[in-house]
Amino acid sequence: MTYPETDLAHNRAGNLSPAQIVRLQQGWQQAAPVMGGFGLALMALGVVFYALGEPLGCAGTWIFAGLLGLLLWGIRRAVRQAQRPGQVARVEGVVRRLTEQDDGQTHYILEVASLRLRMEADDMPRLTDGRTYWVYYLPRTGYLVSAEPAPGS
């Protein structure tokens, strides 16, 4: 199981493929409702504090809403930044796949040339520990986008 040649061709040129952009946008769309629900809960809490006479109630609600808005804006900006040409970097090295548990969640990590890159569970069977790869990733986020065996490996 390897990465699609169309993805690799775009990545070699330093860009994300259209399919990779869609995957990034889907990740954003999955996170937005959760964060939006969190924002509504914070606003409701602010209204309750205000009704109880808490002096920070209304201002606190707007502060929380503003912070949540900044968080959502930052995530959206990161996705758009990744879509710009020249955002994909390449590193060559021997890879090692890791699985880490944190608060009941499983995180998949790829170590290559002193970098620790985040990856999806689907990427695990595509890579072989101890083999040399050209690894394509987003430097700002440390996210693996694809990999291919290095020539001569």
Dist. CA 12–CA 45, nearest whole Å? 49
pLDDT at 15: 92
Helix spans in the chain (H): 5-12, 18-51, 57-83
Given CA atoms 76, 80, 83, 88 in this order, what sign does their dihedral have? Answer: negative
- Amino acid identity of 77? R
With a cut of 90, say whether residue 9 has pLDDT above it. Answer: yes
The more confident residue out of 118 and 30 is 118
Mean pLDDT confidence for 66-88: 76
Radius of gyration of the chain (CA): 20
pLDDT at 84: 77
pLDDT at 75: 73
With a cut of 70, say whether residue 128 has pLDDT above it. Answer: yes
Domain ranges of the chain: 19-83, 87-149
Least confident piece of the model among 3-7, 28-32, 91-95, 106-110: 28-32
Please give the CATH topology (third level) of the domain spanning 87-149.
OB fold (Dihydrolipoamide Acetyltransferase, E2P) (2.40.50)
Mean pLDDT confidence for 30-51: 63
Average of per-residue pLDDT values in the chain: 83
Portion of the chain with pLDDT greater than 90, in percent: 48
